[in-house]
Structure 1
Amino acid sequence: MTRALIVIDMQRGFDDLEFWGPTANPECEANVAVLTAAWMASGDPIIVVRHDSVSPGSPLHPGNPGNALVDSVAAVQPDLFVTKNVNSAFYGDHDLHVWLSAGGISELVVCGIQTNMCVETTARMAGNLGYDVTVALDATRTFDLRADVAGLGVVTRTASELMATTALDLQGGGFARIATTSELTGA
């Protein structure tokens, strides 16, 4: 086994659109379920990652119901379960890099939430660490983003624009390939 599926932050709290704002790709959860089923059938390892926010007001805080994994991912028996409170799954509790290295795993497929945050950060780090990384873009989703940026003023991007930019940055920058769920599963 040299490939693993990393499922990032598929948590109920991301369904709180009043907190997060408009989202893109409502097929994300169904596509993640297809990927996990394919990985379970193949016997290749699955890593499930959960974000444990340190902010008590976040839906992803461990004391809030939104911290729970969505049902389709909660039903998976992962080979490794990682909790984190930052964007990268490589900075969590269990040491992902050590576990992957010990298992001789060199190929990673990454999916989950948010495309331009934890998925992208994990994929970039994995690429920098020498893994062969593929991001299943249609098995990710994110939310509109708006920020007052020094020198630029207020910058706004839709979730769809952010997903496209992440795909461009990852593939164009040589961090990861972008693929669809059907390409990865042959479905």
Structure 2
Amino acid sequence: MNTIVETFYKDHQVKPFISPERDLDTWLQNPKPVPKRNMELLTDDLLARDILLLWRIQFGTFTTETWFTKYFEYTYSIDAPKHLKTLVEKGYAIIETAFDSLDHLNATMKMNVLKSKGITGLSKMKAADLNQALHDHFSEKELASHFSIRGYKLTPKGEEILEQYQDIVDRHPKKNL
């Protein structure tokens, strides 16, 4: 089976990621090899999919709980969680603090955190008031213990590389994100 897969990718600069969970027999019935341009090495050993991960992060909605669709593997042939970790390690993105990740919580979640400290009058508070109350009553460490979701954010280095490879973003199909 590996020989068949290798024939699809013999001319690719980087060999594709194929998940151990992929059903190769089913895939080989109607194979769609990853386009060669998606597997070419860019600056700093990045791939096209890395640029698209950075593009997704820049919207401010990408979190530690974001689900990775199959197109990361099937269209761009990368192990997306591993590549995301590498983007953070290389300084293209950071994982936000608990305070910086408050925009990923709804009002009820914020109220529950505040209630844990006995804060009252929460039902009259607007989102900005809830955030301020959290800042007033919690340290980063205390707040971090109440929820695990964290946002990702581009660093200036990430913004720069995203701008450098805008053509990759431009040729990627767009959905309303």
Q: Same fold (TM over 0.5)?
A: no
- Greater C-alpha Rg: 2
Would you tell me which structure has more helix in proportion to its own residues?
2
Give the structure-1-normalised TM-score: 0.23
Q: Which has the larger strand fraction?
A: 1
TM-score by length of 2: 0.24
